């Protein structure tokens, strides 16, 4: 059901039946390592190319989610997914393996919550019994496509972020024991004129705050409604700008705990990750791994996940285009055995 101008309220409260999270070695050395289902010790994941490794991460996460839900791929009506690669090849090729009806999407690093919101909308409307939503990223594929190949050894400024090697998948059903998706807010494209691809946090922060404000406005809520509001991958630079924007726009963020997936996934004082994490796999693995496990333990009852994305391409920034950004928010609450 449409609520306000850009939000949906899901009256049937789709259930997250299961999740699958698979990460690489750097994420396995971070503070959330025990919350991921599979941790690979090698960035190649046994594959011949970085791109094939990224696809393998997603396939593993999808299979783990299916196994955890006690379902087969043939029971899933639709798979919704996307990634950062040109023509979203990681998801498209994984969907070829999975053999499910497939809806490919692109929201850059906001893809995790864009996919989850669309999956919940389809489920809420009665269009499916089971839906899978997923996304992935790989540090070496992203560096190769958007910046410089890892082998080049290019130095990065402190504002740069470290792309997460990981995949996160969720399986949704009409009923069951698990957290429920109660609402979503679809973001607008916001462009503040930033052209530096090594400063994604600054580019994305205004979009995140814009979507959070729209969520509160549409649903008549304040930050205190949630135990935690977490942005996707603003990292150190962007999350600080977001805090400044909250204050500027008089958003009482102090009512709740505000954090960022890009800060949670790594230990910045011990790992060489510059400003923190980014990539489609960042918010996906942190949400489907760490945050939902905290909900299961009863530490969190209501969270708002606001995944952020920079909608540039290798071509656009080389031509001097600024970086348009977007953020999508999904409200997840305890349900069933999680309550």
Question: What are the C-alpha distances in Å from 83 to residues 146, 168, 271?
Answer: 13, 11, 25
- Angle (CA) 177-182-184 rounded to 5° is 135
pLDDT band at 164 (very low <50, low <70, confident <90, very high): very high
Quick one: angle between helices 139-146 and 50-69, nearest 10? 140
Query: Closest by alpha carbon to 20, among 133, 150, 161?
Result: 133
pLDDT value, residue 339 = 45
Q: 276-293 pLDDT, tens per residue?
A: 999 999 999 999 999 999
Q: 13-22 pLDDT, tens per residue?
A: 999 999 999 9
Identify the DSSP state of 174.
S
Place of tokens 């798979």: 79
Quick one: angle between helices 235-248 and 200-219, nearest 10? 40
Averaged pLDDT score across all residues of the chain: 95
Q: 29-66 pLDDT, tens per residue?
A: 999 999 999 999 999 999 999 999 999 999 999 999 99
What's the predicted TM-score (pTM) here? 0.96
- Angle (CA) 266-271-277 rounded to 5° is 40
DSSP string, 255-285: GSEEEEHHHHSS-TTTS--BT-EESHHHHHH
Max distance between CA atoms of the chain, in angstroms, equals 52
Is the separation of the CB atoms in 125 and 72 below 8 Å?
no
Return the sign of the alpha-carbon dihedral for residues 90, 92, 93, 99. Answer: positive
Radius of gyration of the chain (CA): 18
Number of H helices, E strands in the chain: 11, 15
């Amino acid at each position: 059901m449409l609520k306000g101008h850009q939000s949906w309220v899901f009256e049937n409260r789709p259930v997250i039946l299961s999740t699958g999270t698979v990460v690489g070695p750097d994420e396995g050395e971070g503070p959330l390592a025990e919350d991921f289902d599979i941790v690979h010790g090698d960035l190649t994941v046994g594959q011949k190319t970085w791109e094939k490794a990224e696809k393998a991460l997603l396939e593993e996460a999808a299979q783990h989610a299916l196994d955890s839900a006690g379902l087969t791929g043939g029971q899933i009506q639709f798979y919704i997914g996307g990634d950062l690669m040109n023509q979203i090849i990681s998801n498209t090729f994984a969907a070829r393996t999975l053999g499910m009806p497939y809806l490919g999407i692109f929201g850059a690093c906001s893809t995790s919550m864009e996919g989850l919101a669309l999956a919940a909308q389809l489920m809420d409307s009665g269009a499916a019994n089971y839906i899978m939503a997923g996304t992935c990223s790989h540090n070496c594929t992203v560096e190769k496509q958007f910046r410089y190949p890892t082998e080049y050894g290019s130095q990065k400024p402190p504002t740069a972020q470290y792309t997460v090697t990981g995949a996160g998948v969720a399986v949704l059903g009409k009923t069951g024991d698990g957290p429920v998706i109660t609402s979503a807010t679809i973001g607008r494209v916001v462009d503040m004129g930033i052209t530096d691809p090594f400063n994604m946090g600054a580019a994305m922060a205004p979009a995140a705050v814009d979507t959070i404000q729209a969520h509160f406005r549409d649903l008549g809520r304040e930050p205190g409604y949630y135990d935690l509001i977490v942005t996707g991958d603003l990292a150190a630079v962007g999350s600080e700008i977001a805090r400044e924007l909250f204050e500027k726009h008089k958003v009482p963020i102090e009512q709740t705990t505000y954090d960022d997936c890009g800060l949670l996934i790594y230990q910045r004082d011990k790992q060489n990750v510059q400003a923190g994490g980014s990539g489609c796999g960042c918010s996906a693995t942190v949400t489907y791994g760490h945050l939902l496990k905290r909900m299961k333990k009863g530490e969190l009852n209501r969270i708002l996940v606001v995944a952020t994305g920079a909608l540039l391409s290798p071509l656009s920034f080389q031509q001097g285009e600024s970086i348009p950004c977007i953020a999508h928010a999904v409200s997840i609450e305890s349900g069933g055995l999680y309550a």
